[in-house]
Amino acid sequence: MISDRRKTPPRAVVRAVERVRDGLAGAHRRLVPGHFALLEMVAAGWLSQAIHAAAALDIAGALADGPRDGADLARTVGADPDALQRLLRLLIAHGIFARRRDGRYTLTPMARALRTDAPVPLRDAVLFYGGATHRDHWTRLVDAVRTGAPAVPARAFFDLVRTDRELGDMFHRAMSDIEGLGQQAVLTAHDFTRYRSIVDIGGGRGALLAEILRRVPNCTGILFDLPEVVADAPGWPAGATGRCTAVGGSFFESVPAGADAYLLKHILHDWPAEQAGQILRTVRAAMPPTARLLVVELVLPEHDRPHPGNFIDLEMLVNTGGRERSESEYRALLADSGFTLVSCTPTMSPENVLEAVPTP
């Protein structure tokens, strides 16, 4: 089992903290007048745009070498000193940046995540999700809810990020940021030492596969994605040279055959049931009878408490026409595509690892 307990808090502790947080938030909503609680939620959109502005100005990068006063910081990031102070006042109130007693600004743990060299960077994700294109898509949420049709269907969305090079580069960097959030949780929850060969389907630039191969020295891997995506994949980690290959193609047509395990991380939720089933049937055709399918996704809970999947579900509605699914919905989708779900393992993060086998 791949594990690093020193860096991963117990899942039970994380869930307990989440329940306390959700309970306190619920109590706050019940105690204050409804119109005030609602207005706070509406204003949260302004906070997200303030975070986007901080990322675009690279304030965190400017503070990487230590605290700076307002005038110096404004000169460095190319901002009006008064406007920058007003921006930072809001962010500091929410724990993003801090102001020392001497008046100089400094980083906080959340602000450090806006640095490109952070252990788990989020700057590119903030730039993408707060950018004009993504904001424009979300203005069409009302239409999507009325019609059930996305603002941008999946094929059109992925064509857009493929043809608009600047947007596409930002999107792929953002996805790399997001993938890093749950990587350790997935590596801890599932025993990848069981496999001698793994195909990471739609694996982007290969961060997760590279880490698996680094930790499992007797395993070989194939990174499979669109040709232009795998062309930008970074070098493989030390110790994995000669054990991994990048292959370009479409998972609607064919995927590399004969591996022990096939990994689909954050792929199926991008697509409606028909296309998701087509992807699964393509994978099924390539798999030996003894191979395993590993699907890593947020799995919607049965309760009505806050859950990240509820946000991402609307993101899929707006941008691709895909959806987040419950365990029973994944079980049915897999069964319709020739698989039997054998386990659904929660991780320390909101993600789950669904393990399936080809149905005889």
Measured CA distances, 153 to 124, 136, 149, 270 (Å): 23, 14, 8, 10
Q: Is the dihedral of CA 247, 342, 340, 301 positive or negative?
A: negative
3-class SS at 218? coil
Measured CA distances, 1 to 193, 240, 293 (Å): 6, 18, 17
245 φ, ψ (degrees, to nearest 5): -140, 145
In DSSP notation, 297-322 reads EEEE-SS-S--HHHHHHHHHHHHTS-
Distance CA 334, CA 20 (A): 35
252 within 8 A of 282, measured Cβ to Cβ: yes
Strand partners, 244: 221
DSSP conformation class of 210: H
CB atoms within 10 A of CB 38: 12
310 within 8 A of 303, measured Cβ to Cβ: no
CB atoms within 10 A of CB 111: 22
Catalytic residues: 269
